[in-house]
Every structure is written in structure tokens, then in C-alpha cells.
Amino acid sequence: MRTLLIFPPASDPAHPPLGIASLAGFLRAKGEEVRLLDLNLLSYYYLLSRENLTACAARIARRMGELEQNRDLPAAEAGEYRLLAENFLSQDYLLANTPRALAALKETTTYASRASYLQVATIIRRAMEFISAAHYPVRWYPRGFSMSHLPTQSGDVLRASEDDRENIFIPFFESCLPQVSQINPAVIGISINYYCQLIPGLTLARLLKKRLRDSFLVVGGGLICFFAGGWEALRPFSGMVDGFIPFEGELPLLELLTTWRRGGDLAQVKGFVHFREEDSHYLPPPPPPPPALEALPCPDFDGLPLADYLSPQVILPGLICRGCYWGRCAFCSHAQLYRGRFRQKAISQVLAELQEMARKYGTSYFYFTDEAIPPPAARRLSQEIRVQGLPYQWFGEMRLESALDREALAALAQGGCRMLMFGLESAAPRVLDLMHKGIIPEKAGEIIQACREQGIRTFVMFFIGFPTETRAEAEKTLAFIAAHHEAISHVAFTNFILEKSSPIYQQPSPYGLTTLPPNPGEDLKIYAHYEVEEGLSGDEAISFLEEIKDRPMLRALIETYLVSRAHLIFLPPREKPKALPRPPTPPGLEVISASHPKLADGLVPLTLLFNLDVIRTQVQGAVPDAKEPTRIKRMPTNYLFHPSQEKLVEVGDHGLLLLKPCNGRFSLGEILGALGEQNRPAALDFYQQLAAAGFLVWEEN
């Protein structure tokens, strides 16, 4: 009997998923036939293909044409038009460069400098935005996906699974169905770990159930465990899924396979959720939570296209622990994944797994996906790697705690550590104490500086709006980042989210927190709305983030251009910011008069029927539910677009006419001489401004 385990979009494309590989290793060791399929990775190749980009370009042009039939646009459609127009301008550039950029992510030379990586990663980001715009209001981005349908509402998820206008994955999944049919699995498992995978994963389930009616389809993964105690929330999907496996899946899935094979009663399978007419049925595994880590074999990645992952080297994920050894943070719900139990592998077992994976798959790069690697374990593993002379390089998440002194970090670096990801969360001592975070800002700063000294990259995460946090305390976090920005490789930040499985949700009163009932239809929501007695409200925290995200210091550290966090280990360290060079003195009129102006290569001149700046200003200032909703009137406007620099400039009513002779055949003196005397100063200023922006070049003939 054949089992197929599938990892759906949208997630990191730089390395294979650990979950289905761990299940495969366990099941194959028990004699089961298992195939693996990473549809997340394959979706990047499909969606970023020239064929799909061409189809998206046609969609954008068609929709723009529809909107341009109107004399004016309501605010929502005007915002759509602006997004479509901005992406429409990039279509030729993206069609020419995206396939090459996708291939370049696997080439070592791309990572030789941050500038060369940024160029490639920016093309990938723009192509993802282009595809998103074609399916407005979809957002597809590295490690994320959203659409107008919400993953927190089962009704929306069901509608999204059939929405072939917005759901970018439906054509891709349909293209994969023949491959799945050829495998002919008796049991199919789909791993859903994040909200952004829920709609794609269940869309896939619907299509598979329709195509392979005899296959038994089960869904597992990290997200499913958060519905514990409320399994009925999953009932709406019982028509496309035969059941769910929450928590750790090895033993429940093995028992399910053996029971299914012999035609037994699935109600007796421990750890399996399914639905009967009258109720949901779940028989929990007996304590302690299985399985014993020492009994687990090495993750098995056989069958996955390791050479196709978007990374210059094969990176394989692994785990040292299940659960978090700290386990006290008030905001964290990670304990739910392992039912509150922390277990750690022996370092000898971890090392043996690395050696097996290195031998079998020819790699020396590893990513420990632990919530937090215990410092003693990291140090012992590093010591073994160093003593045995193994060429392994690894990265993972650790806590900013006192055990990571300079000596410890030196030992980690000598043992192959290349990057550490830290959850700072806040740099305000009072807030950290309230979180039960257990870290000290001064010590955290010392750790980050010491990491830089040892050549260890640092990825620092924080959030804004923990209950009672004030704006001044939030600014302390930013001041901390500013003070250490030269030592930090990258930052990621978001607003506080009240997760239902977190300690603060269970005991909100010490935090002045009041939870609010869910909005109608939010049956899949694993976090809660709330109000606070003091400090930043949820809306104020979001506004604060919008306000700060463009601060120069944060822009230099922000992660948005990364296709994968894993790519940081291949990039050179950040250099100390250099003083901005003084702009060159523009050449005198007597010099440029003899030069021949020519439009820079690739420029796109065009006229749009609506002014994008007017849309941006008026839509942002629109008042929701106003008696007279904002409408944007048609205003034909001339533009020049520089695709490679992603620059768009408005060139005025006569701008395109002034640019017609800029073809390199006429000198500026000749062009100005053909104009009326009263028009020459304005035209000269226009040409000089475009030249300063890189849109015009002066050629000597």
C-alpha cells in the first residue's frame, strides 16, 4: 500500500520541509512505502515561469482596459488600478529577467555581494507582486499567501478553494494531478503548518478528492493542533478530507495505515480526528506523548528534488528538541504543538543524523528548526563537530540569555554556527519582565556584538503592542536596534497577536487585557481580538509599525527582500554604512549643449488614463462609510518608467513630445534651438532633471 505525503504552498523554497521527511523516515523504517511531494517548491517554478507571467500580463492588461472604460473610479477600484498600472509597466522586464533570476538563486556567484543578491531577490519579489496584481487582491510573497477570502473562516476557505479568479494555485494543482494519479496512493497526507497554507492545502485536498475518489485523505501539521478542544471547527472540510492528525504524527499515522489496510475501525486509531453524523471523534494517545525521540530514525528526504531548492547549497532541516526548554513566555503558544512536553535528543543522536544526511545527500549545511536550541546542547554539538573536523555549517534559533557569552559563541562559531535567530521581542525591561521572557537588554546587546566578532550572522525579531507597552517603551526597542544595527544582519517585526493557546490568553487579568468575542464566521481563528486598559491598542500598534517601517535604519535591516532567511548564511556580513557621496557637479550648459541626449535603455514611455499620484493621495485619505464615497476622475497622464530601477516619473502634458528627439541623433543644442525661446529654459530644466534621475544619458558623437 502506497502513501503519499505532500507539502503545499506557501512556505520557504530554499530547503525541503522537515515534517513530511520525518514521517517518511519513521514509516519507511516500519516497512511502509512512502512517496514525498513538495508542491510548495514546485509552485515557484510554475508560477514564476514565462508562460504564467505571460498569462498574468494578459490578465492585467484586460482588467486595466475594463477599468479605463469608466469616467471615474470608486476608491477600491482606483487602488486596484494603481496597483495594476505599476505592475503593467514591469511586464517586459520581468518576462525577460525572472527565469534567469530564479536560476540565479541556486548559483554561488549571486551571493558574492549583498548588491548582487539584492538585484536577483528584487526581481523575484517584483514577479510575485506582478502575479498577485493579476489576481487582485491576492498577495503572494516569500513564505506567505493571502486573498480576499480569510483562512480564519471555514466558509471563506471553502469558497476560496473554488475561486479560480483569485486562487493562483488551482491551475498549478490541476497540472500536478496526473503526477499524483500516476503514483496511485492509497493514502494521501497533506501537511498544513501555517495559516497561509490552509487555503492552498485544502484547495489541493478538494481537487485530489475529486480525482482520486478511492484514496484516503488525511491532513496533519502544526496548524491542526490549535483546534484541540474544538474539533467541530474542522467539520466543514469533512467532504474533502477523511480526517485529521493533530500533534506529532508518527504513531497515529502508522496506526491509521495499518488499520486502513486491514479494514479496521478507524474510531480506534489513537490521535486521529474524524467526523460522524452526530459528533467529532478523537481518541487521544496515552501519556506520555509519543514517540520517544531516541527511537526515531533520521529524517528521510528521498524522492524530493534537493538540487531544485532555491539555494546555492543543499540545506537540510533537523531538530535537536521537541518543545521549548524555556516554555515560559506569556505570548507563546509553541507548547501546544507538543502538548506541553519538552524532550531533547542526545547529542550523539543529533550528530549521527547529521553524518547520515551528509553522507546520503552530499551536503554540509543544516538548519535546526527548534523553537530554541538549548545553549549546552549547541555547545556540545559544536565541540563534537570541531573535534571530529567535520565541515558542517548550521544555523537556528536561540535565546538571548547569559549562557551565550563570548567564549560560548566562539565555540559555536568554531563548530560551524553561521547564523543565530533571536526573539528579542522588546528592549524595555518592564515589558520583558511582564512577558516572562527572561532576557536582559544589555546582555542581549553584548551577545549580538559578540556574534559579529565571531562571524555569526544575527537575525533579530521583535513585535510591538504587548499589553501595557507604551509608545515610549516601543521606542526603546527601536533604540536598541539602532544602537546595534552594525552588528545585526537582519530584522523582522510585527504587531502583537493574542494567541488562544498562550498563557496570557489563559490568564489575561494581570495584563489589563479583555478578550473580545470573535467576529461572525470566525470559526477557524486561533487568535483573539482584545482590548487593553493601558498602553498601545492593537490598532495603535499597527499604526506605529506603519510609521516606523520606512525609517532609514530599519530599511537597511528589514527582511522583505530576502527570498529565504536561509540565504543570509551565504551572504557576506553587512558592511559599516558609508557616508553618502556628494552628488557630482552637473556639467555646464556649454558641455551638454554639444552632447546628444538619449533615453536610457529599457525606458517605457506611456500615457495612463488615471493619475497614480492622485489615486494614492485620495484613496489613502478616503473616509470609510462616507456619505459621498471618494471617486477618482479620469486624468490622462504621461509617465516614464525605468524597469531595472523600478522608478516611475510623471513627465507632464508635453513631456513625451520633448522626449521624441532624444534618440542620440540630435545634440541638445539642436533640440533646444528647434523650440521657441520662451520654452527653452523649462525644456532644459526638464532634460537635466531626467538626466539626474538616470532616465537620460548624454552621448558624445
What is the Cα 608 distance to its own chain's centre? 32
Name 34's Cβ contacts closer than 8 Å, sequence gap at least 6.
2, 3, 4, 5, 23, 24, 27, 28
| H, E, C per residue of 243-292 | EEECCCCHHHHHHHHHHHHCCCCHHHCECCEEECCCCEEEECCCCCCCCC
pLDDT at 163 over 60: yes
Mean pLDDT of 233-249: 95
Torsion angle of alpha carbons 23, 24, 29, 32, nearest 10°?
110
> All 3 cell numbers of residue 210?
475529486
Per the prediction, the chain carries an average pLDDT of 92
d(CA 336, CA 699): 66
pLDDT more than 70, % of the chain = 95
pLDDT at 671 over 50: yes
Mean pLDDT of 326-355: 94
Question: 371-390, pLDDT tens digit by residue?
Answer: 999 999 999 999 999 999 99
| pLDDT grade for 272, boundaries at 50, 70 and 90 | very high
343-344 and 321-322 beta bridge pairing? antiparallel
Alpha helices in 288-346 (DSSP H): none
pLDDT at 589 over 60: no
What is the Cα 557 distance to its own chain's centre? 16
Question: 609-623, pLDDT tens digit by residue?
Answer: 999 999 988 876 555
Compute the chain's Rg from CA coordinates: 28
Give the DSSP H/E element, type plus range, for residue 605.
Answer: strand 604-608
Closest CA to 271 of 284, 254, 259: 284
**Helix, strand, coil: what percent of the chain each, to 5?**
45, 20, 40
pTM given for the model: 0.93
d(CA 55, CA 255): 45
pLDDT at position 625 is: 57
- For the ranges 149-153, 312-316, 429-433, 626-630, the lowest mean pLDDT is seen at 626-630
Question: Phi/psi of residue 634, each to 5°?
Answer: -60, 135
Pick the CATH number of 589-699 from 3.50.30, 1.20.120, 3.90.930, 1.10.3470: 3.90.930
pLDDT at position 595 is: 85
pLDDT at 668 over 80: yes
| pLDDT grade for 580, boundaries at 50, 70 and 90 | very low
Closest CA to 513 of 557, 562, 468: 468
Question: 450-482, pLDDT tens digit by residue?
Answer: 999 999 999 999 999 999 999 999 999 999 999
> All 3 cell numbers of residue 290?
509519543
What is the Cα 481 distance to its own chain's centre? 22
540-560 burial, b for 16+ CB within 10 Å, e for fewer? bbbebbeebeeeeebeebbbe
pLDDT at position 626 is: 56
d(CA 650, CA 679): 19
Q: Are 171 and 212 in contact (CB under 8 A)?
A: no
CATH topology of domain 311-570: TIM Barrel (3.20.20)
pLDDT at position 584 is: 52
pLDDT at position 355 is: 98
What is the Cα 452 distance to its own chain's centre? 25
| Cis peptide preceding 288, ω within 30 of 0 | yes
Structural domain boundaries in the chain = 2-282, 311-570, 589-699
d(CA 612, CA 85): 8
